[in-house]
Structure 1
Amino acid sequence: MEQAFRAGLFEGRTVLVSGATSGIGLAIASGFAALSARVIATGSSDAKLASLRADRTLEGIRFEKLDVRSPGDIVDFVAQLDELDVLVNAAGVARPADEYTDAVFQEVLDVNLSAAMRLSMAARDRLESRRGAIINIASMLSFMADADVPAYCASKSGIVGLTRALAHAFGPAGVRVNAVAPGYHRTDMTKALWQDPAKADKIAARSALKRWGEAEDLVAR
């Protein structure tokens, strides 16, 4: 592992991470920065972006605002990048118990699934010129079910299918497309679960390590 993720591994490489103002996205952005990549981390909250820009421990990361629901904003954002080696589609939301309404269902699919397609297509030429890579953040709910979040389940199942399709579409040009499917990790999105001792213990008990994952577990350091 130490040899595979040696210091300076991504020196001279540019990495774009969507949904990177908290949780898994922020951990991934920090991981790439620790390996000397030029990291651009995006989010939609002005308050979060301002706080992260002021954090001296994150000075190696450039935080930018991006609405991944807007095709035009995505095209304009990617167009101003000189080069791109890695795209990480980590933007994601869940609306427990509200996803049975049409508006919320569509909102979740837009952020979790459609945005990954938009970013991948906008970045395709730059990734092909660098023979780069796309990493999509799926979920264990790509393969399982949670009745409280039908849109989240559908979107993350869709991420797996999208990853397979893009891998075949982009592969001939040298762009690798893969997905990571995390289980239960302690992030802001899952706070209602891990802050409830009964629910948290039940989830931990059925995991291999008998504990909740941490976002940093997904980053090799």
Structure 2
Amino acid sequence: MMAFLEISDLRKSYGEHEVLRGIDLSVEQHQVICLIGASGSGKSTLLRCVNALEPIDGGRVTLDGEVVSGAGVDVDLLRRDVGMVFQSYNLFPHMSVLDNVTLAPVKLGGLSKAQAAEKGMALLERVGLADKAKAFPDRLSGGQQQRVAIVRTLAMEPRVLLLDEITAALDPELVAEVLGIVRQLAQEGLTMLLATHEMSFAKEVADKVCFLHQGSLLEQGPPSQIFTDPVEERTRMFLKSIIAAGRL
């Protein structure tokens, strides 16, 4: 039986450089999957391929039994179902926080401005930013901007949320406030696929951890197995370097 989100033999190259080498990954509904690995291992490219920000060269992606990759896919419809949050917040600097949040629900979701505003305010309240609704992004901290970016994606009610190193650009003291939102979403059962260097967080929230190395999904399993008894030597070497750096 096919998983809720199924990635099958996914391949991606830039010229002669093969970035993804036949990735196979099954994600069940309500699961949290953490992608770990060194920079350049293919984590971000994998997420971008799932969201059709990058065209794939081989394989396929299915969501709830429907193919959502390749020619002929309705990209706008896909991105309603599969939302993505980036490490650089990508907020529109000339628009207020609330306008950033309500733009897509009005333009793509068919909501009236009043409906979108009501929904947007409820989401901002949920992450503790209702008082910043009229502020512009440059008046917010990095952590606040990233929380707004998450809210903007949630406003489209995605069935799957992709998170690409969303704490990488934050000062250490701001990381906790953003991870707190992700932790809450995990507890609420939102299906998530996230690339992260926050190993302790992955150990806490993930249902499955996937270690990528040079474009291959080298090892996957529950956090208890990956972080304490990995099978692959390369996984052990990676985790040893993480522990030496004090990040696990």
Query: TM-score if structure 2 supplies the norm length?
Result: 0.32
Tell me which of the two structures has the higher relative contact order, counting C-alpha pairs closer than 8 angstroms and 6 or more residues apart: 2
In terms of fraction of residues, the more strand-rich structure is 2
In terms of fraction of residues, the more helix-rich structure is 1
Query: TM-score if structure 1 supplies the norm length?
Result: 0.35
